[in-house]
């Protein structure tokens, strides 16, 4: 392992030097990102610190119950043995939870189900939906701190981490759907997804065509399938340095992130601008801060979900190939698994018919570096013709949950859409 690791590092450095030398556009993006980060460090050092937010030390249960809502936790077992946790907020305390339309809210990559609850009491879309009479279920993907159980495996077993978003769409999506319908005695669900949460929906419905009859509507924030046009300098750097390849070979569970929360939270208190601008090298730079920087420490404590290294690798594979395809195991293993040397593409085109009866709203930000306009157009072409799209000016990939102006820029349009059918 040691010799192989050293050889890999040498290859990484060689790739970087070659690319840095011959690609001035990439070099300019890196220079600009470093300059912004440098300015942020200076500003963080010499600026007064934001106070820790109210509820900083609270759990998700404590946060929700302190606001006057009913909170439940549900365990959901998938066909392949993973045990998921869902946060349910059916109503306010003292209200009747019966006969409400269930809403499933599915978080994105590196997040968890808490991401829908840690902005502000008046800004969280999840609680506004409860106020409007919906039964809200926030589901946690496998591999997050809240969904880290299995009938036979533990997070210390390498086999536990043998999944990507493919398994989330194939197994987690139908398991959550069936459980919610059976528990609520309702016939359909409204699905909210963010980023990889939308990917699970597209993938799952392309693999299992009869799932779609159980969805009344789909709302996708930062909807993702293809990612080949991403302008993100951090994505390009991860690809260039072959970092996911190294992680997959030597550190298969490194992206299980909850262990960093005790360190990350106080660091975010002292350097919020620096951390947020580093994140923006991945998700896209806004012209102004939409996020409330003072809430970052609480998000770090409660919304650091994690995933498998294989999940990240799957995204990098699709970035490299330009396809929205199943996982690439290499030609020999692909022949054994798929019967062909290359991984098959997901049948996105089938969604135009499969989802024809589903009310669909896509919400995309103009500054989103992970949902490039070219990739969004490919997705739009695959969806039913009545799909609605809202373009949000100066929003990046994460602003939908964490911004201070999300009510006026996004949530109001979501409720207008929900009230239209």
Contact 206, 350 (CB under 8 A): yes
195 is catalytic: yes
In a domain, 10, yes or no: no
Whether 397 is a known active-site residue: answer yes
For residue 182, what pLDDT is reported? 98
Three-state DSSP class for 302?
helix
Kindly report the pTM of this predicted structure: 0.88
Q: What is the pLDDT of residues 38-68, one digit of tens each?
A: 788 878 787 777 777 777 778 889 999 999 9
Burial of 153 (0-12, 13-18, 19+ CB in 10 A): middle
Q: What does the pLDDT read at residue 302?
A: 67
Q: Which of 44, 112, 124, 368 is catalytic?
A: 368
Residue whose tokens read 């392309």: 206
Q: Quick check: is 16 in a domain?
A: no
Series of mean pLDDT values for 10-residue runs along the chain (421 residues): 48 50 60 73 78 76 94 98 98 91 96 88 93 98 94 93 96 99 98 98 96 98 93 73 66 58 72 83 80 77 77 90 94 96 97 98 95 95 97 93 91 97 90
Token pair of 212 as six digits: 């779609």
Does residue 15 fall inside a structural domain?
Answer: no
217-259 pLDDT, tens per residue? 999 999 999 998 888 777 777 776 666 666 666 666 555 555 5
**Residue 28 domain-assigned (yes or no):** no
Specify if 57 maps to a domain: yes
The total domain count for the chain is 1
The per-residue pLDDT for 42 is 78
Q: Which string of DSSP letters, residue by residue, matches 149-215?
A: EESS--TTSGGGG---HHHIIIIIHHHHHHHHHHHHT-S-EEEEEETHHHHHHHHHHHH-GGGGGGE
Catalytic entry in 239, 397, 399, 403: 397
Instruction: Please report whether residue 309 resides in a domain.
Output: yes
Q: What pLDDT is recorded for position 396?
A: 93
CATH number at residue 98: 3.40.50.1820
Predicted pLDDT of residue 12: 47
The predicted pLDDT at position 402 comes to 83
- Tell me, yes or no, whether 392 lies in a domain: yes
Helix H segments across 307-372?
309-321, 331-338, 351-354
Domain that holds residue 190: 40-419
> Is 166 in the active site?
no
Residue 405 tokens read as: 């102006």
Q: Considering 115, 147, 195, 232, which one is annotated as catalytic?
A: 195
Give the per-residue pLDDT at 260.
Answer: 60
CA distance 3 to 13: 16
pLDDT given at position 80 = 98
In-domain check, residue 25? no
């Amino acid at each position: 392992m040691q010799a192989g690791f050293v050889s890999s590092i040498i290859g990484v450095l060689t790739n970087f030097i070659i690319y840095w030398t011959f690609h001035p556009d990439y070099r300019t993006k890196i220079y600009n990102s470093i300059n912004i980060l440098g300015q942020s460090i200076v500003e963080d050092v010499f600026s007064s610190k934001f106070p820790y937010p109210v509820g900083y030390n609270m759990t998700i249960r404590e946060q929700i119950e302190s606001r006057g809502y009913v909170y439940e936790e549900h365990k959901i077992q998938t066909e392949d043995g993973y045990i998921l946790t869902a946060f349910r907020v059916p109503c306010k305390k003292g209200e009747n939870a019966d006969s409400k339309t269930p809403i499933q809210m599915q978080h994105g990559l590196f997040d968890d189900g808490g991401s829908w609850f840690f902005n502000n009491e008046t800004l969280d879309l999840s609680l506004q939906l409860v106020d409007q009479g919906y039964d809200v279920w926030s589901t946690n993907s496998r591999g997050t701190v809240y969904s880290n159980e299995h009938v036979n495996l533990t997070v210390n077993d390498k086999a536990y981490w043998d999944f990507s978003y493919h398994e989330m769409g194939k197994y987690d999506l139908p398991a959550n759907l069936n459980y919610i319908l059976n528990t609520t005695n309702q016939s359909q669900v409204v699905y909210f997804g963010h980023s990889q949460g939308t990917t699970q929906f597209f993938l799952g419905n392309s693999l299992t065509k009869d799932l779609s009859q159980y969805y009344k509507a789909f709302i996708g924030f930062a909807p993702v399938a293809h990612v080949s046009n991403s302008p993100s300098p951090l994505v390009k750097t991860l690809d260039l340095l072959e970092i996911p390849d190294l992680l997959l070979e030597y550190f298969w569970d490194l992206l299980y992130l909850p262990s960093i929360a005790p360190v990350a939270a106080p660091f975010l208190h002292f350097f919020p601008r620096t951390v947020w601008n580093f994140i923006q090298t991945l998700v896209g730079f806004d012209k102004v801060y939409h996020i409330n920087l003072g809430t970052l420490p609480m998000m770090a404590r409660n919304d650091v979900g994690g995933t498998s290294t294989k999940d990240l690798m799957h995204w990098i594979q699709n970035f490299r190939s330009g396809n929205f395809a199943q996982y690439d195991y290499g030609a020999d293993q692909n022949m054994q698994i798929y019967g062909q040397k290359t991984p098959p593409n997901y049948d996105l085109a089938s969604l135009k018919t499969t989802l024809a009866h589903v009310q669909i709203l896509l919400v995309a930000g103009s500054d989103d570096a992970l949902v490039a306009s070219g990739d969004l157009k490919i997705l739009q072409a695959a969806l039913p013709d009545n799909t609605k799209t809202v373009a949000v000016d100066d929003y990046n990939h994460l602003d939908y949950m964490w911004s201070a102006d999300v009510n006026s820029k996004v949530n109001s349009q979501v409720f207008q859409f929900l009230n239209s059918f």
